[in-house]
Amino acid sequence: MSARYNFADLFAPELLQTEALSPPPWKVLLVDDEPAIRAVLRLAMQDIVFDGRTLHLLEARSGIEARARLDEHPDIALVLLDVVMETEHAGLDLVRHIRQELSNRWMQIVLVTGQPGYAPQRAVITDYQIDGYRLKSELTADKIFVSVYAALRTHQAMLDLAQQRQQLAQVKVELEQHRRHLEMLVEKRTADLAAATKAAEAARIDAERANNSKSRFLAAASHDLRQPLSAVNLYIDVLRAKSSAADRPLLANLKECVGSLNELLTDLLDLSKLDAGVVTPSIVDFPISDVLSNLQSVHAPDAQVKGLRLRCVKSGVTVRTDAVMFRRMLANLVSNAIRYTERGTVLIGCRRRQGKLWVEVWDTGIGIPEDKTKEIFEEFKQLDEARTRGSGLGLAIVDKSAKLLGLGVRVRSTPGRGSMFAIEAPLGIQASQGPLPQPGRRSLRIALVENNEQVRQALELALQATGHLVVSAADCRSLLARFDCWSPDVLISDYRLSNGETGFDVITRVRAKFGEDLPAVLITGDTDPNLIRSMAGRGVVIQHKPLQIDALQACIQGLAG
């Protein structure tokens, strides 16, 4: 193909995921007048992590000092509290302060006492709102862990419940507002609907009358308007046979004008039929090869006149849609490609994806600006107003026909480089022709990025030996520089590349150029489970080193369909 042939994708690259900020630690207050006890508790708790959050340990030597800590840190989740400190009941007084004066029901309180006589377990649990009770003489690392873990779990559950209650109250208020608003809307829209129904019925009757008149006109115009054009063509041929060499260019121009008029009439009639709703699709199963052969034979002369190469890649797939309309849609795309291409190649090919067949028409023409890719499907819309550019209805017919048949249409283009238009068709049932041959390996166009030269050369040779076309490079920038006239079917990239580049970077950039649905395979020798999970979470297939070529072959064949 031409060196100008470099098709870029219009889709934005996928955003790379960023790591979430670390959650804040749980605040735990240790209240005891014995430094040794506080040290033991701190040592036992320093490595505890609950729900992905570490602990921030605060200390107080008395009930008074603890109150100051509570004022400074109202979001403390857990208090481990001695009973006897500056007074015999300093700890219990602090419990009353938290529960009654601060009205804090979410903060967890676990008594840790060395003098159970001052705070008997049953009495304290019954009379005070505490959440746990431990004797200092029985403290172990495991018991401390269990107490802390259970308390934090309860604290989190209570916070969640409070938040849910608050949200529920807000929802109830909003629902009541919506209910009143909906009642008003229903009353208004009921009245509007009655008026609209009456107007719609009158409009329907008028539209039916107009549509019937239009259908009768189209039936007559389809025959009558072509008759004089056919006669003019015949007269031109007669005159050309009798004309001098000097007159022949004039007759050629005249014939071209008549051809343009005939094309315009055909497009107008087709578009009018689609708008009128008089086109009834005939859905059948048919081999796409019939359509491709027809496109090749019909449009090859036009391409040859302009010095273009028209290539058509064969396919044995059977599709199910309206054969006549589908061929007409593709013919419009091929005609446009030839019309807007001054040099290079027009390529027709097929891709199977997700149970559909996409028939693609590529060209090396003038291209289409990104902000015009929707506008070009409007009626009589042309980017180039030159006389030879046609009626401006071809893409409008494609769009309306696709909607009638329920088919998808895609376009990718780069101004000055070329365009790709594609139409999908559901797969059909192939006519029985005896035993089917066993499926073989399909030859693929593979883009390969591997910074290790020996691995890259070996992998390239192995893939080429099985019939694949491989373009390889040590990094993404070098790979993209090597593409000019074709796009890959599959991308294979090593995960760890040079200069901090990763396989994810390569996939993002290459998909930005050739489409975000380009199949991609990451090859890696990493065994870190977190990294492997991260790779799998990106929706990318992974192949581990050392590579098994048969497994890699099966993988890329499956991805490419």
DSSP 414-464: ETTTEEEEEEEEEB-PPPP-SSPPPP-PPP-EEEEE-S-HHHHHHHHHHHH
What is the reported pLDDT for 3?
44
What is the reported pLDDT for 9?
44
Which range (75-79, 161-165, 401-405, 484-488) has the least confidence?
484-488
Quote the percentage of the chain above a pLDDT of 70.
77
pLDDT, tens digit, for every residue of 202-249? 888 877 776 666 655 654 554 455 556 545 654 665 576 667 777 777
Indicate the CATH number of 4-8+10-206 among 1.20.1250.10, 3.40.50.2300, 3.40.50.300, 3.10.50.40: 3.40.50.2300
Match 């796409």 to its residue by tokens. Answer: 288
Please state, in angstroms and rounded to a whole number, the distance separating the CA atoms of residues 10 and 502.
23
Classify residue 232 by its DSSP letter. H
Tell me: pLDDT of 26 over 90: yes
What is the reported pLDDT for 264?
60
Tell me: pLDDT of 398 over 60: yes
Tell me: pLDDT of 374 over 80: no
Q: Which CATH architecture has domain 283-426?
A: 2-Layer Sandwich (3.30)
Which range (151-155, 228-232, 452-456) has the least confidence?
228-232
Q: Please name every residue paired with 358 in a beta bridge, in sequence order, or none if there are none.
A: 351, 424
Beta carbons within 8 Å of 558's beta carbon, 6+ residues apart? none
| Average pLDDT of the residues in 165-175 | 90
Please state, in angstroms and rounded to a whole number, the distance separating the CA atoms of residues 558 and 556.
5
DSSP alpha helices (H): ranges in 312-434?
323-339, 394-405
Structure tokens at 526: 């990493």
Structure tokens at 440: 């073989």
CB 447 within 8 A of CB 491: yes
Q: How confident is the model at residue 540 (pLDDT cuts 50, 70, 90)?
A: confident
What is the reported pLDDT for 260?
59
Tell me: pLDDT of 138 over 50: yes
What is the reported pLDDT for 560?
77
Structure tokens at 318: 């059977």
Closest to 394 in 3D by CA, of 345, 322, 335, 327: 335
Closest to 133 in 3D by CA, of 150, 151, 113: 113
Which range (34-38, 121-125, 192-196, 409-413) has the least confidence?
121-125
Going edge to edge, which strands form the sheet with 26-31?
55-60, 26-31, 78-81, 108-113, 132-135
Q: Which CATH architecture has domain 445-560?
A: 3-Layer(aba) Sandwich (3.40)
Instruction: Name the residue with higher pLDDT: 349 or 12.
Output: 349
Which range (8-17, 155-164, 343-352, 355-364) has the least confidence?
8-17
| Average pLDDT of the residues in 173-190 | 89
CB 41 within 8 A of CB 30: yes
Please state, in angstroms and rounded to a whole number, the distance separating the CA atoms of residues 476 and 488.
14
Q: How confident is the model at residue 44 (pLDDT cuts 50, 70, 90)?
A: very high
Please state, in angstroms and rounded to a whole number, the distance separating the CA atoms of residues 440 and 435.
15
Exposure of 461 by Cβ count < 10 A (0-12 exposed, 13-18 middle, 19+ buried)? exposed
